[in-house]
Chains A and B, each alone.
Chain A
Amino acid sequence: MAKPENEITWKDLEVGFVVDEPGNAMVYRTGDWRSQRPVYSRERCIKCGTCYIYCPDMAIKILEDGYIEHDLYYCKGCGICVQECPTNAITMIEEEE
């Protein structure tokens, strides 16, 4: 689906609402759902990877140096990483829009 969702007409849809393009969930920006965003502090991080394991959307990447980065394209702002971090290296702030 090359068109933005809100421009898709009923005639554009596949028969039976089938998704005919494997793996296209990758383009779906679940980051749009976020009302709070994670803020990460390298100073407190002990590179344990707990946040990476718990993130339900695989929206945390472990970098080559062992620190992490949130992928805000997918991060829904659920805050599980904040709850699980043993050193309080992640906090949530309000999304401003």
Chain B
Amino acid sequence: MATRVGMEVSIAAAEAVKQANTDIIAAYPITPQTHIVEHLSELVNNGELDAEFIPVESEHSAMSVCAGSSAVGARTFTCTSSQGLALMSEIVYAVSSLRLPMLMILTNRSLNSPLSIWNDHSDVMSIRDCGWIQVFTESGQDVYDHVFIGFRVAEDRNVLNPFIINLDGFILTHVIEPIEILDQEIVDLYLPQYQPLHRLHPDRPVTIGCFGPPVLFTEAKKAQNEAMNNTMPHIIKAWQEFGDLTGRYYHPIETYKTEEAKIVIITQGSLGETASIAIDTMREKNEPVGLVKIRLWRPFPFMELREAVRGAELVVVMDRAISYGGPGGPLAGEIRSALYSEEGHPRVVNFIIGLGGRDVSPEDFIQMVQQAKMKVGDWYEIYGVRE
């Protein structure tokens, strides 16, 4: 039987990393990720987790240690945020191209400058095309569960790809939530020992990270892209099997009251819970509004997205990052791409909200839906900015 406890989400995430029997943890402290790695360091120090905790001198080194650790066949975990991710990004791209499975929890925080320790999605959007599988989480339970799901997917022989769990900084990391802690037997049943396909070992040498001349580079990239696209059914299978064991089922796209909705709000991460309160209020006033939440960001679930907004006339996309001089926010760009080929596709309006820790209330969602209805065409706007 699972136990339900009140726990800070960061602590629950660290407990999951312990239950996943992680071998190597390499991380450098950065707000708002610190509670996760501090707790892991305690667990290792107290002998509760038989892992190597490698305190490195920078995030660049953290990801380099993770690359080596995964290459020798160890279950590998790291955790970072914002500037830390930016510093490690060189190696972030390398490990996915080398198909080295590992798990990263990214506690989303805005990128400098102005300096901000608070939440938005500009960090993860800066590595959108890094080739990692990327999910967004909405609650502490989502985060806890995805530690097991992330390792399971990343290490799957049919996948072999690193995995990022996005978790909104402070909004989720530092709050206490009810978490259902899984029995260790369930975790062990769900998450088998990692069996690497290739690994660095003197008994059978291989070269990992070799030169790719022009005659082979394009083939290497095609292989990587195909592999990423082919992860989709294995991610869905891992979610299905997790649901069968725990009763909690996850999907690439999750919906709330989208039946016969003419207006659909699209969110990522913790905004979903706030938006659902606004949906309830608007539904009470017979406004045909529904909510679509993007759980899986990479690989992007194009088919599921089209299905989820079918019948809608207006789609209101919420972005927590700006693509300067671009189409607005990165999520809106993706949604427009997904819908462009659909006959009679809905109008796509984009609001950029919640930058650098600015609160977004249910009332704001209602306001944005009203604004989107009033205007015509596809456009974007930074919501709530003082003129």
A58 at the interface (CB under 8 A from B): no
* B126: min CB distance to chain A, Å: 24
Contact across chains for A15 and B222 when beta carbons are under 8 A apart? no
The answer on a CB contact under 8 Å between B97 and A17 is: yes
Contact with B98, one of A6, A8, A17, A20 (Cβ below 8 angstroms): A17
- Interface segment among B17-25, B105-113, B204-212: the answer is B204-212
Contacts of B213 in A (CB 8 A): 5
For residue A48, CB closer than 8 A to chain B, the reply is no
A14 vs chain B, min Cβ distance (A): 7
Of the candidates A5, A8, A19, A22, which one forms a contact with B210 in the assembled complex, judged by CB atoms under 8 Å apart?
A19
Residues of A within 8 A of B222 (CB): 10
* Pair A13/B198 contact, Cβ less than 8 Å: no
Is the beta-carbon distance between B219 and A16 smaller than 8 angstroms?
Answer: no
In residues 184-202 of chain B, which contact A (Cβ within 8 Å)?
197-198
B98 touching A16, Cβ below 8 Å: yes
Known: A18-B208, A19-B207. A13 touches B216 (CB 8 A): yes
Which B residues between 62 and 120 are near A, CB-CB below 8 angstroms? 97-100
Whether B207 contacts A18 by the Cβ 8 Å rule is yes
Q: Establish whether residues A8 and B207, one from each chain, have CB atoms under 8 Å apart when the complex forms.
A: no
Distance between Cα atoms of A42 and B161 in the complex (Å): 57
Interface size bucket, A side? Answer: 10 to 19
Q: Describe B's contact surface by its main secondary structure.
A: loop
B220 contacts the other chain (CB 8 A):
yes
Contact assessment for B198 and A9 in the assembled complex, using a CB-CB cutoff below 8 Å: no
In angstroms, Cα B99 to Cα A70, docked, is: 40
A37 to chain B, nearest CB (A): 22
Chain A residues with CB under 8 A of B206: 18-20, 22
Question: What CA separation (Å) do A5 and B210 show in the bound complex?
Answer: 15
Residue of A5, A10, A12, A20 with highest tally of chain B CB at under 10 A: A10
Interface residues of A in 33-85 (CB under 8 A from B): none
Does any Cβ of A come within 8 Å of B215's Cβ?
yes
Chain B residues within an 8 Å CB radius of A14? 198
**A13 and B223 contacting across the interface, CB-CB below 8 Å:** yes
Please tell me if the beta carbons of A15 and B99 are within 8 angstroms of each other in the complex. yes
A16 adjacent to B216 (CB under 8 Å): no
- B129: CB under 8 A from chain A? no
Selected contact of B216 from candidates A8, A11, A18, A22, CB within 8 Å: A8
Residues of B within 8 A of A13 (CB): 216, 219-220, 223
Known contacts A10-B226, A15-B99, A20 near B220 by CB under 8 Å? no
- Find the residue from A5, A11, A17 having the highest chain B CB count within 10 A: A17
- Bound: A22/B100 CA distance, A: 20
Whether B160 sits at the interface, judged by CB under 8 Å, is yes
CA distance A19 to B211 in the complex (A): 10
CB distance from B128 to the nearest CB of A (A): 21
For B226, list chain A residues within 8 Å (CB): 10
**Chain A residues whose CB sits within 8 angstroms of the CB of B204 once the complex forms:** 22
Name the CB-closest residue of B to A14. Answer: B198
Measured between alpha carbons, how far is A9 from B223 in the docked complex, in Å?
A: 9
Q: From residue B153, how far is it (CB to closest CB) to chain A in Å?
A: 16
Q: Which of B99, B205, B215 contacts A16 (CB 8 A)?
A: B99
Residues of B within 8 A of A8 (CB): 216, 219
B198 touches A15 (CB 8 A): yes
Closest residue to A1 on the B side, CB-wise?
Answer: B216
How far is it, in angstroms, between the C-alpha of A20 and the C-alpha of B200 when the chains are bound? 11
Closest to A18 in B: B198
**Inside 8 A of B216's CB, which chain A residues have their CB?**
5, 8, 13, 17
* Chain A interface residues (CB < 8 Å from chain B): 5-6, 8-20, 22
A-B contact pairs, 20 of them (CB 8 A): A5-B215, A8-B219, A9-B219, A10-B223, A12-B219, A13-B216, A13-B219, A13-B220, A13-B223, A15-B198, A16-B97, A16-B98, A16-B100, A16-B160, A17-B212, A17-B216, A18-B198, A18-B206, A18-B207, A20-B206
Interface residues of B (CB under 8 A from A): 97-100, 160, 197-198, 204-208, 210, 212-213, 215-216, 219-220, 222-223, 226-227
With A16-B160, A16-B208 already in contact, 7 other A-B pairs whose C-beta atoms are closer than 8 Å = A5-B215, A10-B222, A16-B98, A17-B98, A18-B198, A18-B206, A22-B206
